[in-house]
């Protein structure tokens, strides 16, 4: 082969290699903060991150209530899906919510994967410091860990590439059905006040997520896909069900989808000045609120296709 032909072949091979290089460089670093184990949407949100090949899941931190028991659920879900390399860090234990968390039974005897010894707040701070401007912090539970991280590192917001929450209930008018204190805010109002007044964030509120529930035929589609991930999610779903009429609302999954494809699944993402008051309401307050990007008008069909296709991409 002539030198000229060798050179041409070399150029072509290099060109063919470029897409894989670009793809590897484009993987999105995500750190998930979650209260997995009470409502079912947390585990199913983590499932999407596990299934997404373009996501580098740098860690999972556990917040609210019996954080050690919650961590077992996260560890087992990562283990059965072959993701033992993802660290899990446990946040401070707080007062227990009312009710029984039956999902805990799925992992109560599980020991194959253990959390790291670092606290959740320390893990968040150290991980963001190690990769400044590269990691999206996604918080889909009460905000104790994020607030504790801010107390340790007041410049946390400048270290994160982006902060996305499933949080709040805007309800612009007092008569709005969503003018209520939302769980992730009301569970630890002082922590939420610190987070909302410090960080610039994108928030997916109840005003959007409440309209997106899992249909029986969508659940059946996932049941037909036999992978370790879908089997685990179905097992947790059955533990969570009250009866066959119960439907999952995809609160946390929509925040994860917003992280992966900003603005794609909402008709309107606009800046609003938000303040958390003493009762846990997330109020639009032009005088005292900090501007936050609020995602409204969910595009259910587009989101559900993206979400279900993502979960079913696993083998």
- At residue 263, the pLDDT reads 97
Give domain limits for the chain.
26-311
Share of the chain above pLDDT 90, in %: 85
Of the ranges 16-20, 29-33, 123-127, which one carries the lowest mean pLDDT score? 16-20
- Give the Cβ contact number of residue 30 at 10 Å: 23
CATH 3.60.40.10 for domain 26-311: no
Question: Is a pLDDT exceeding 60 seen at residue 11?
Answer: no
| β-bridge pairing 290-298 and 266-276 | antiparallel
- For 30, the token pair is 């995500």
- At residue 172, the pLDDT reads 61
CB-based contacts of 109, cutoff 8 Å, min separation 6: none
Cα separation, 296 vs 119, whole angstroms: 34
Question: Is a pLDDT exceeding 50 seen at residue 20?
Answer: no
Q: Is 14 exposed, middle or buried (0-12, 13-18, 19+ CB in 10 A)?
A: exposed
Confidence band (pLDDT; 50, 70, 90) for 17? low
- For 286, the token pair is 């032009």
pLDDT per residue as tens digits for the range 121-133? 999 999 999 999 9
pLDDT per residue as tens digits for the range 181-237? 999 999 999 999 999 999 999 999 999 999 999 999 999 999 999 999 999 999 999
Nearest to 45 by CA among 57, 54, 36, 53: 36
Please provide residue 245's backbone torsions phi and psi, each rounded to the nearest 5 degrees. -90, -10
Indicate left, alpha or beta for 280 from its phi (over 0: left) and psi (-120 to 50: alpha).
left
Question: Is a pLDDT exceeding 50 seen at residue 32?
Answer: yes
Cα separation, 272 vs 291, whole angstroms: 5
- At residue 177, the pLDDT reads 59
Higher pLDDT, 162 or 13: 162
- At residue 244, the pLDDT reads 81
The per-residue pLDDT of the chain, averaged, comes to 91
Q: What is the mean pLDDT of residues 6-29?
A: 54
């Amino acid at each position: 082969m002539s030198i000229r032909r060798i050179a041409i072949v070399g150029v072509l091979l290099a060109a063919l290699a470029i897409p894989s290089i670009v793809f590897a460089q484009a993987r999105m670093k995500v750190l998930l903060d979650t209260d997995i184990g009470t409502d079912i949407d947390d585990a199913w949100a983590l499932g999407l991150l596990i299934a997404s090949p373009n996501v580098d899941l740098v860690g999972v931190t556990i917040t609210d209530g019996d954080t050690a028991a919650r961590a077992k659920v996260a560890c087992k879900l990562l283990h059965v899906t072959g993701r033992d390399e993802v660290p899990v860090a446990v946040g401070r234990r707080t007062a227990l919510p009312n009710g029984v968390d039956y999902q805990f039974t799925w992992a109560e005897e599980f020991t194959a994967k253990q959390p790291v010894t670092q606290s959740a707040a320390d893990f968040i701070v150290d991980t963001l410091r190690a990769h400044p401007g590269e990691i999206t912090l996604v918080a889909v539970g009460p905000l104790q860990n994020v607030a504790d991280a801010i107390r340790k590192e007041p410049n946390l917001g400048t270290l994160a590439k982006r902060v996305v929450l499933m949080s709040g209930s805007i309800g612009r008018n007092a008569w709005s059905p969503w003018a209520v204190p939302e769980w992730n805010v009301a569970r630890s109002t002082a922590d939420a006040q610190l987070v909302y007044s410090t960080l610039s964030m994108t928030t997916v509120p109840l005003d959007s997520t409440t309209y997106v529930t899992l249909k029986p035929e969508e659940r059946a589609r996932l049941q037909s896909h036999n992978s370790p991930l879908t089997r685990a999610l179905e097992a947790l779903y059955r533990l969570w069900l009250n009866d066959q009429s119960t439907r999952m609302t995809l609160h946390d999954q929509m925040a994860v989808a917003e992280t992966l494809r900003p603005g794609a699944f909402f008709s309107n993402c606009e800046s609003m000045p938000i303040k958390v008051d003493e009762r846990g309401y997330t109020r639009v307050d032009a005088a005292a609120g900090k501007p936050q990007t609020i995602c409204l008008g969910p595009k259910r069909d587009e989101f559900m296709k993206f979400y279900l296709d993502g979960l079913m991409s696993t083998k």
